[in-house]
């Protein structure tokens, strides 16, 4: 399988200069598929957690955005129970930027643009309790 130069360059850059708190490793048998481990950001309910994600670059990349999904359960208004992420900025960004954007989303949940309506409602009606639940889930599933 031949990869576009752009993917090769982005992968090399990720390996040489990883984003802080993010490890992205391409599969040897499919270099469009990455295993990602993301540390929960400081000053967030996810601090101390280590979250597994998968990232896949579709054939149409970079015209089509990377597909990214949380494999680790997480209590977040913008991430649904299947691990899908509600993030407009996934469109046409470099792999590194997409991962940094997801990390930023962990620091700043946006219950006004939810993917998990029940979690968003919890964040809106009782943010302190919702953050506590996020912390508990982090300890249970991402420790």
**Catalytic annotation, residues:** 86
Contact yes or no for 18/38 (Cβ under 8 A):
no
Q: Which two tokens stand for residue 41?
A: 């950001």
Q: Are 48 and 31 in contact (CB under 8 A)?
A: no
The sign of the torsion formed by the CA atoms of 112, 72, 122, 84 equals: positive
Q: From CA 99, how far away is CA 24, in angstroms rounded?
A: 9
Q: Which residues pair with 34 in a beta bridge?
A: 26, 55
């Amino acid at each position: 399988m031949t990869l576009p130069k752009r993917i090769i360059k982005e992968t090399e850059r990720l390996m040489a200069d990883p984003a802080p708190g993010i490890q992205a490793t391409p599969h040897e048998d499919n270099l469009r598929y990455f295993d990602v481990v993301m540390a929960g950001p400081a000053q967030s309910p996810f601090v101390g957690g280590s979250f597994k994600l998968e990232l896949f670059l579709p054939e149409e990349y970079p015209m089509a955005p990377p597909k990214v999904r949380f494999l680790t359960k997480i209590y977040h208004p913008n991430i649904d129970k299947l691990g899908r992420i509600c993030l407009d900025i996934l469109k046409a960004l470099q792999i590194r930027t997409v991962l940094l954007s997801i990390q930023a989303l962990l620091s700043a949940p946006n219950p006004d643009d939810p993917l998990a309506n029940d979690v968003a409602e919890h964040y809106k009606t009782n943010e302190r309790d919702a953050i506590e639940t996020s912390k508990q889930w982090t300890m249970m599933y991402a420790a």
